[in-house]
Chain A
Amino acid sequence: MSRTTRVGGAAIHVAGALVAGAAALAIAIGAGCAKAPERLRPAETFTWVRQPIAFSPPSEQWYREGDNGGGMLGVRFILTGGGGQCISVLAYRMMADRDRSEALRGLVARGGSLPRRLFLDSLSLARPRTEDPISERESAMARELNAALDRAMEDYLSERTNFVSGDLEAALRIASAYEPTMEEVLPRVRLVPSRMQEPERWRIAYERDTTLAGLPAFASDDTLFTPERPLLYREVFWVVHGCAFKAVYQGTDENLKTFYRVVDSIRFPEVADAAAK
């Protein structure tokens, strides 16, 4: 009896050791099989508008295409064999082009040395757009700026050249003082299904103000119903130094973390830093 018990006890010990070993092996295998986070590529700096943007693109599995449409300029990373899954990072180019301070800065710097025809051409090119204003504040700035440029033209044509540089500097001050804010830009850029070609494909879910890339941002978690399957549709917006940007994800839940890793890598370097790089 006692012998049997001893033998049985040994068997239990061996079985226990085997179970523990198998469990350890299973854990080890499980840990080995866990999908490692997708490695991003080295950070790149893009200068689509006055304000540069830097981020780490997703891995080679996502091939890239330039995107220049809808008043935006940017890059789209499309998942190979992903059935339309993509990550985009874009700048609102047409909105950035409304800023005339760069053209005015050039006029102030070399206005005096320009031949008459070139000066008048440059002056007209420095005028702000007045149609379809972003906000009432922008509209007021455009009116004020146009009045300053009218004075500059009048003084130039009346050969009161001493006054022209003063008028141009005043115009530059007016243009530089205005930078669109997130509150002004958001109503124009956020997803509104009724503005889309097929409104029934979009469903707005959760929208929020947040902080991403160290800056205030607006994020929305929506759904896009494609003919094949519904896809997550995530958008993040920033307005930095008057330039609007957005990052968009269209895809499945599985690749969402890659999008957020790209978003986490986004930085807005100073213009001088970006030029140095």
Chain B
Amino acid sequence: MPLRSSAGSCVAMVLALAGAAGAGCSPTPAGKSAEAVVVGRHHVWLAVPKGWERLDHGRQQLFRNGEAQISLVDLGPATRAGMVSELQSADSLWRAGRHLDAIHRIRNLRSPALRYAESQTRADFWKPWTDAAYNSDPADSFPMGLALNALIAGTNALTEATPDQMLKYVLGPDFNKERTEVSHQGQRTIHGSDWTDVETWSRVSHQYRSRIAYLVDDGYFLVLTIDAGIFEQTGPAFEALLTSIDVGAEEPAK
């Protein structure tokens, strides 16, 4: 009898331990536990769909299942505030003596406000930097520092991108309007974040469906997109991933 009693308490302990461990994992409808992932500037919780693997490329997270691929990308500054943040990061690099890194960051500054500005506005924005880079020794901090400050101030002269321009920017220059069109576009709130959810298909036959969803978090784009694979396979995985993404949360969404 005492033996049976101790066996019973052992089973109870094991069950209690299993319960405690389970509570920390917070299983998701996708069948996997949410995990914390850093995508460029974004800190997110997400659940990798069952049967898919995640590859961490820093600013880009790849999700693969055979030939099918979905990616979650930090697409850089979306708003003027994002541009300022990016330029301030370059400034910090410059001050830390990492001049080449800072120059690389500035040269790769992209944003919809900049892309869809009038060519003269764009030229005016870059003028202080190109003048300083042309006339000065890159190692000379003073003129470059002034140019960086002028760039930061110059963001005020840009017009904030419209939602249509943001969509065009996210779809990218390769989006061929002759071949592909947006079949559906809507707004969704997922774990408190406002996503723009877009579905595309072939303009001619309405085949080759694909999806792309994006949000602006702290001035930066976070974009989930189907890169490759048949929609019957990638569509459900995309939906499972999208609904699992919790941006900037301390804890995974229950």
Chain A contacts to B: CB under 8 angstroms = 44, 46-48, 64-68, 73-75
Evaluate contact between A64 and B203: CB separation under 8 angstroms: no
The answer to the question of B159 belonging to the interface, with a C-beta cut-off of 8 Å to chain A, is no
Residue of A with least CB distance to B208? A66
The answer to the question of B35 belonging to the interface, with a C-beta cut-off of 8 Å to chain A, is no
Which residue of B181, B203, B204, B206 contacts A67 across the interface (Cβ within 8 Å)? Answer: B204
Evaluate contact between B181 and A47: CB separation under 8 angstroms: yes
Q: Is the interface of A mostly helix, strand, loop or mixed?
A: strand
Q: Which chain B residues numbered 177 to 212 have a C-beta less than 8 Å away from chain A? A: 181, 202-207
Residue of A with least CB distance to B207? A64
Compute how far the CA of A67 lies from the CA of B181 in the bound complex, rounded to whole angstroms.
Answer: 16
Query: Mind listing 22 A-B residue pairs with CB under 8 Å?
Result: A44-B206, A46-B203, A46-B204, A46-B206, A47-B181, A47-B203, A48-B203, A48-B204, A64-B205, A64-B206, A65-B205, A66-B202, A66-B204, A66-B205, A66-B207, A67-B204, A67-B205, A68-B204, A73-B204, A74-B204, A75-B204, A75-B205
Which residues in B have their C-beta under 8 angstroms from that of A75?
204-206
Q: Which chain B residues numbered 199 to 237 have a C-beta less than 8 Å away from chain A? A: 202-207
Which residues in A have their C-beta under 8 angstroms from that of B206?
44, 46, 64, 75
Compute how far the CA of A47 lies from the CA of B202 in the bound complex, rounded to whole angstroms.
Answer: 11
Q: Which chain B residues numbered 71 to 90 have a C-beta less than 8 Å away from chain A? A: none
The total of Cβ contacts below 8 Å across the A-B interface reads 24
Compute how far the CA of A168 lies from the CA of B124 in the bound complex, rounded to whole angstroms.
Answer: 31
The 6 closest A-B pairs by CB, nearest first: A66-B205, A66-B204, A75-B205, A64-B205, A44-B206, A73-B204
Compute how far the CA of A73 lies from the CA of B181 in the bound complex, rounded to whole angstroms.
Answer: 15
Residue of A with least CB distance to B118? A113
Which residues in B have their C-beta under 8 angstroms from that of A46?
203-204, 206
Which residues in B have their C-beta under 8 angstroms from that of A64?
205-207
Compute how far the CA of A163 lies from the CA of B181 in the bound complex, rounded to whole angstroms.
Answer: 38
Which residues in B have their C-beta under 8 angstroms from that of A48?
203-204
Compute how far the CA of A67 lies from the CA of B204 in the bound complex, rounded to whole angstroms.
Answer: 7
Interchain nearest-CB distance for A271 vs B (Å)? 14
Which residues in B have their C-beta under 8 angstroms from that of A74?
204
Q: Which chain B residues numbered 96 to 118 have a C-beta less than 8 Å away from chain A? A: none
Residue of A with least CB distance to B119? A115
Which residues in A have their C-beta under 8 angstroms from that of B207?
64, 66
Which residues in A have their C-beta under 8 angstroms from that of B181?
47
Q: Which of B202, B204, B206, B207 has the most chain A CB within a 10 Å cutoff? A: B204
Compute how far the CA of A74 lies from the CA of B203 in the bound complex, rounded to whole angstroms.
Answer: 9
Which residues in B have their C-beta under 8 angstroms from that of A47?
181, 203
Residue of A with least CB distance to B184? A277
**What does the 1/0 interface line of B139-166 toward A look like (CB < 8 Å)?**
0000000000000000000000000000
Interchain nearest-CB distance for B52 vs A (Å)? 28
Compute how far the CA of A75 lies from the CA of B204 in the bound complex, rounded to whole angstroms.
Answer: 7
Which residues in A have their C-beta under 8 angstroms from that of B202?
66
Compute how far the CA of A68 lies from the CA of B203 in the bound complex, rounded to whole angstroms.
Answer: 11
Compute how far the CA of A48 lies from the CA of B207 in the bound complex, rounded to whole angstroms.
Answer: 14
Residue of A with least CB distance to B204? A66
Which residues in B have their C-beta under 8 angstroms from that of A67?
204-205
Which residues in B have their C-beta under 8 angstroms from that of A66?
202, 204-205, 207
Residue of A with least CB distance to B183? A44
Residue of A with least CB distance to B206? A44
Residue of B with least CB distance to A46? B206
Which residues in A have their C-beta under 8 angstroms from that of B204?
46, 48, 66-68, 73-75
Compute how far the CA of A193 lies from the CA of B203 in the bound complex, rounded to whole angstroms.
Answer: 31
Interchain nearest-CB distance for A191 vs B (Å)? 23
Interchain nearest-CB distance for A119 vs B (Å)? 14
Residue of B with least CB distance to A57? B206
Given contacts A64-B206, A66-B204, A73-B204, 9 further A-B contacts (CB under 8 A): A44-B206, A47-B203, A48-B204, A64-B205, A65-B205, A66-B207, A68-B204, A75-B204, A75-B205
Interchain nearest-CB distance for B206 vs A (Å)? 6
Residue of A with least CB distance to B203? A47
Interchain nearest-CB distance for A30 vs B (Å)? 39
Compute how far the CA of A50 lies from the CA of B18 in the bound complex, rounded to whole angstroms.
Answer: 63
Compute how far the CA of A47 lies from the CA of B204 in the bound complex, rounded to whole angstroms.
Answer: 8
Q: Which of B205, B206, B207 has the most chain A CB within a 10 Å cutoff? A: B205
Interchain nearest-CB distance for A55 vs B (Å)? 11
Compute how far the CA of A67 lies from the CA of B202 in the bound complex, rounded to whole angstroms.
Answer: 12
Which residues in B have their C-beta under 8 angstroms from that of A44?
206
Compute how far the CA of A44 lies from the CA of B204 in the bound complex, rounded to whole angstroms.
Answer: 12
Interchain nearest-CB distance for A64 vs B (Å)? 5
